[in-house]
């Protein structure tokens, strides 16, 4: 997937969520696309598979997200998905009448129990270049990109997940250090089961890797799932949701 086409979809998402101001919807992009655009693609030797979808969080309710996006700025709601989960909705985006080369947008909506209504969305703007225009879009902050990738890497081995963790920690070293308490030791331990070469990287953050391994030894990675509540807890709340006992 061409990253500029993903950028086009992200730019239209930003426009739909911010114009008009009275229907503004807070959002933050995360996942593969966000990690790549925020710098990974510029590093020699790193390759990224551009998946044909965007993922984002939104403070707004599901219905407000639907009202903001459906049939606006090229987005169409996937009605067969809308009722599958209470705080999740999915759209397709295209800038052609024939709906060619559609991009999927997955939105994890609010409100979420345990997160104050007045809490900061914890996003930062980033300037991107589309195929015909450029502008700013919102990404969740790097510590939350890292938390999300650690969560995914805890579930099993994919080389790119380990590479993403290494990139985020080294690229945003000083920033990650100031937020390191937000990383869940159990998930770090599960990551090390699949990506042992990351041990010195975590240790350099003053993470107790022995304790992380101990915690991971009594948990089951296959109990981590993709329900919206877990996406929120693992990306934005102070600690990742606990992995159930085996």
Closest to 77 measured CA to CA, from 95, 63, 98: 63
How confident is the model over 89-145, as pLDDT tens digits? Answer: 999 999 999 999 999 999 998 766 655 555 566 789 999 999 989 999 999 999 989
- In this predicted structure, what is the pLDDT of residue 152? 86
- In this predicted structure, what is the pLDDT of residue 154? 87
Low-confidence ranges of the chain (pLDDT < 70): 1, 40-51, 111-121, 218-246
E-state strands within 50-202: 53-61, 75-77, 88-93, 103-110, 123-129, 134-140
Backbone φ and ψ of 97, nearest 5°: -65, -30
Closest to 58 measured CA to CA, from 21, 87, 20, 100: 87
Closest to 112 measured CA to CA, from 241, 31, 228: 228
Q: What is each CA distance from 37 to 121, 165, 209, in whole angstroms?
A: 20, 15, 30
For the chain, percent of residues with pLDDT exceeding 70: 78
- Here the tokens at position 137 are 């879009």
- In this predicted structure, what is the pLDDT of residue 80? 84
Q: H/E element holding 175? A: helix 173-178
Distance (Å, whole) CA 163 – CA 147: 14
Distance (Å, whole) CA 131 – CA 137: 15
């Amino acid at each position: 997937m061409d990253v500029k086409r993903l950028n086009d979809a992200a730019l239209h998402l930003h426009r739909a969520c911010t114009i008009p101001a009275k229907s503004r919807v807070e959002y933050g992009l995360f996942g593969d696309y966000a990690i790549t655009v925020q710098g990974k693609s510029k590093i020699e030797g790193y390759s990224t598979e551009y998946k044909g979808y965007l993922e984002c969080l939104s403070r707004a309710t599901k219905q407000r997200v639907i009202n903001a996006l459906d049939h606006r700025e090229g987005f169409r709601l996937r009605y067969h998905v809308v009722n599958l989960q209470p705080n999740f909705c999915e759209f397709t985006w295209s800038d052609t009448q024939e709906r060619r080369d559609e991009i999927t947008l997955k939105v994890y909506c609010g409100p979420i129990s345990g997160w104050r209504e007045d809490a900061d969305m914890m996003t930062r703007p980033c300037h991107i270049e589309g195929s015909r225009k450029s502008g700013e879009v919102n990404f969740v902050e790097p510590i939350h990109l890292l938390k999300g990738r650690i969560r995914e890497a805890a579930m099993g081995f994919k080389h790119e997940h380990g590479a993403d963790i290494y990139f985020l920690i080294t690229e945003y070293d000083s920033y990650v250090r100031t937020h390191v308490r937000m990383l869940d030791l159990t998930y770090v331990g599960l990551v090390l089961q699949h990506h042992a070469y990351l041990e010195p990287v975590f240790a350099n953050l003053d993470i107790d890797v022995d304790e992380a391994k101990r915690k991971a030894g009594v948990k089951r990675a296959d109990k981590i799932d993709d329900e919206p509540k877990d996406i929120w807890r693992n990306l934005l709340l102070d600690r990742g949701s606990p992995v159930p006992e085996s």
